[in-house]
Amino acid sequence: MGVKIKGGYQAELIDSILVDKYFYKVEEPVSEKWIFFDTFDWRLFNKSLTLHQSGQQLTLRRLTYGDSIESIKWTSRPVFAWDFPDGSFRKRLESITQARAVLMLGEVHTQSRTYRVLNTDLKTVARLVYTQVWSQPDINSPLLGEYIILQPVRGYPRYEQQLTKELEEIGHTTSIIEDIYTSAIKKSRIKPGSYSPKLGLRFDPSMRSDEAMKTIFLRLLKIMRANEAGITADVDTEFLHDYRIAIRRTRSALSQTKNVFPRDITNRFKRDFASMGQISNSLRDLDVYLLSEGSYRLMLPEVMKDDIHPLFIYLQGQRTLALKDVIRYLESEDYLQILQRWEVFIDNSKSDIYDEINSALPVIDLARKQIYTQYRRVVRDGNYILEHTQDELLHLLRIESKKLRYLMEIFAGLFPRKKITRLIKQLKILQDNLGEFNDLAVQQEQLLEFASEIPVSDKPSKMALVATGYLVETMARRQRIVKAGFAKTFTTFSSKNNQGLYRELFKYIDSGSDS
């Protein structure tokens, strides 16, 4: 519990609460710098959490209640959850930030003076901490806030109650951590939650399709551009990941919305975005391999666990090269020109009126038509696979379901949130099965390919080859299990119930226009 006070520090203020009523002892003031962190996509903020470093302590707190959830002694700058020692702090942070780095949001400077409230045994029974917060280390700079924080001591509830009452009389209660966090961030001129890789678009269902599609394209372009700096600075792998998803969604939207824009225009941009995506294929693949080192180690028997390491050193080297290629591309004239052309095209203010068949179609109809057609395609293809299982067909089905997923996500804002979220979740289960099957297939091939590239000159690289062989074998076994699981996953996906829901949400009733 704490109160925010106004009007400059008056030592008498706290003294007036304590004197005559309690024994107390004042400690030396402590000056600290508080640095706040979050991931680029605000994962902590979105869960109402803050991570801050002060003194030698790194603390994860709830933003509104201010209570500490996990804390660890940590003096260097925190970056990835996996940098921390095994334990509850790491586990908690890893479940939230995953592969994302935490970035500095802002800092404030504080000075705190603790008043220890004592009982007759001179035992501490509560603490009042008077804290002042500045934006600069200089205490003559403007004050951002002043607080008195009550820190109760366990087992002495009566003191807590009394002091709470007395504090409420001199200031207004507030969430102090949130207050300080807001001050720190305001100083850095960033807005919490300002970036999200989600589309989060809501539009009027009757909007013209060409106009709506351009709004979607613009949002995707913004996501791409927001991630460029993070890719170039190589902060974490998720900048590239979000960037690529935005490209793929753009491509998917371009090809799934036939007859909204003239074909020659869409074809040209489809080619542009395809090449844009291709440039970073190998970097993303390498990221995925490097991120899975841990799970690869788990697949190996104890004696071989370390043998695989040379492979990752090799991949790390390859990644450095791949990153250079991507950065060079992002800075190239080609790339800038494509984006410029694209920006001109999607600018709604210069609204070109198209007269393709679907240009003026209300966006809700376009969405229904596309999603439902794509859904039926997935069901049809899946049913065929149930009878003729071929690896190649599973791969194709994976691509078709991915297209369906993108369509549903792009247009999600047009449909009741609960229902569409449920359908997306179900689709995701199917995609996970197909995705794992495909990943395992690709990884087996890729690993063998990498293995053939590693120069075998010494014992470690020979051991790495043996370990790779073992991995490929384990993956092949796992792949068979995943494949066996397809039938059940798909049957759930294509169940009557689910089909009914798709029909209810997406069935497009043709009102006479050509389609």
Partner 1 sequence: MTTMALYSNKGGVGKTATAVNLAYLAANSGKSTLICDLDPQSSTTYYFRVKPKLKRGARGFLKPGKPIQRSIKGTDFEMLDLLPADFTHRNLDIRFNGLRHRKYRLDIVLKTYRKEYDLIILDCPPTINILAENIFNTADLLLVPLIPTTLSMRTHEHLMTFLRGKRYDHKRVFAFFSMVDGRKKMHHEIIPLFLNQFDGVLRSQIPYLSLVEKMGIYRAPVPVYAPKSRATEAYQTLWHEISQHLFISD
Q: What phi and psi values does residue 455 have, to the nearest 5 degrees?
A: -70, 125
The pairing of strands 23-26 and 102-118 is antiparallel
Which residues inside 464-503 make contact with partner 1, applying CB under 8 A?
A: none
Write out the two tokens for 278.
């291709």
Query: What span, in angstroms and rounded, lies between the C-alpha atoms of 385 and 393?
Result: 7
Closest Cα partner for 432 from 375, 493, 473, 388? Answer: 493
Return the range that interacts with partner 1 (CB under 8 A); candidates 35-43, 119-127, 391-399, 472-480: 119-127
The answer to whether residue 158 forms part of the interface with partner 1 (CB under 8 A) is no
Tell me which DSSP letter residue 301 carries.
-
Return the range that interacts with partner 1 (CB under 8 A); candidates 148-156, 287-295, 354-362, 374-382: 148-156
Which residues inside 240-279 make contact with partner 1, applying CB under 8 A?
A: none
Which of 7, 12, 95, 122 forms a contact with partner 1 (CB under 8 A)? 122
Which of 20, 28, 86, 169 forms a contact with partner 1 (CB under 8 A)? 86
Return the range that interacts with partner 1 (CB under 8 A); candidates 120-128, 130-138, 213-221, 366-374: 120-128
Query: What span, in angstroms and rounded, lies between the C-alpha atoms of 271 and 247?
Result: 12
The answer to whether residue 193 forms part of the interface with partner 1 (CB under 8 A) is no
Distance of closest approach, residue 153 Cβ to partner 1, in angstroms: 4
Nearer CB in complex with partner 1: 7/155: 155
| CA end-to-end distance (rounded Å), the chain | 63
Closest Cα partner for 327 from 419, 211, 243? Answer: 243
Nearer CB in complex with partner 1: 46/124: 124
511 three-state secondary structure: coil
The answer to whether residue 153 forms part of the interface with partner 1 (CB under 8 A) is yes
Write out the two tokens for 264.
């020659």
Distance of closest approach, residue 336 Cβ to partner 1, in angstroms: 50
Nearer CB in complex with partner 1: 121/169: 121
Nearer CB in complex with partner 1: 6/154: 154
Which of 46, 111, 112, 124 forms a contact with partner 1 (CB under 8 A)? 124
- Tell me the chain's radius of gyration from C-alpha atoms: 29
Query: What span, in angstroms and rounded, lies between the C-alpha atoms of 98 and 96?
Result: 6
- 175 within 8 A of 66, measured Cβ to Cβ: yes
Return the range that interacts with partner 1 (CB under 8 A); candidates 149-157, 202-210, 435-443, 488-496: 149-157
Task: Give the interface size with partner 1 as a residue count (CB under 8 A).
Answer: 17
Contact string 38-77 vs partner 1 (x = CB under 8 A): -------------------x-------------xxx----
Nearer CB in complex with partner 1: 54/57: 57
The answer to whether residue 353 forms part of the interface with partner 1 (CB under 8 A) is no
Query: What span, in angstroms and rounded, lies between the C-alpha atoms of 328 and 323?
Result: 9
Nearer CB in complex with partner 1: 125/404: 125
- 74 within 8 A of 54, measured Cβ to Cβ: no
Query: What span, in angstroms and rounded, lies between the C-alpha atoms of 254 and 349?
Result: 20
Return the range that interacts with partner 1 (CB under 8 A); candidates 85-93, 205-213, 236-244, 329-337: 85-93
Which of 109, 116, 368, 398 forms a contact with partner 1 (CB under 8 A)? 116
Tell me which DSSP letter residue 87 carries.
S
Distance of closest approach, residue 217 Cβ to partner 1, in angstroms: 50
Distance of closest approach, residue 127 Cβ to partner 1, in angstroms: 9
The answer to whether residue 121 forms part of the interface with partner 1 (CB under 8 A) is yes
Which residues inside 127-146 make contact with partner 1, applying CB under 8 A?
A: none
The answer to whether residue 453 forms part of the interface with partner 1 (CB under 8 A) is no
Write out the two tokens for 232.
């170039």
The distance of Cα 239 from the centroid of its chain, to the nearest Å, equals: 9
Distance of closest approach, residue 424 Cβ to partner 1, in angstroms: 36
Q: Give the number of other Cβ atoms within 10 Å of residue 8's Cβ.
A: 9
Query: What span, in angstroms and rounded, lies between the C-alpha atoms of 213 and 228?
Result: 23
DSSP string, 368-411: HHHHHHHHHHHHHHHHHHHHS--HHHHHHHHHHHHHHHHHHHHT
Distance of closest approach, residue 26 Cβ to partner 1, in angstroms: 15
Query: What span, in angstroms and rounded, lies between the C-alpha atoms of 316 and 457?
Result: 19
Residue keyed to tokens 């260097």: 76
The answer to whether residue 87 forms part of the interface with partner 1 (CB under 8 A) is yes
Return the range that interacts with partner 1 (CB under 8 A); candidates 121-129, 175-183, 385-393, 507-515: 121-129
Distance of closest approach, residue 73 Cβ to partner 1, in angstroms: 5
Query: In this structure, what is the dihedral angle of CA atoms 162, 167, 169, 172, given to the nearest 10 degrees?
Result: -140
Q: For binding to partner 1 (CB under 8 A), which residues are involved?
A: 57, 71-73, 85-87, 116, 121-124, 152-156
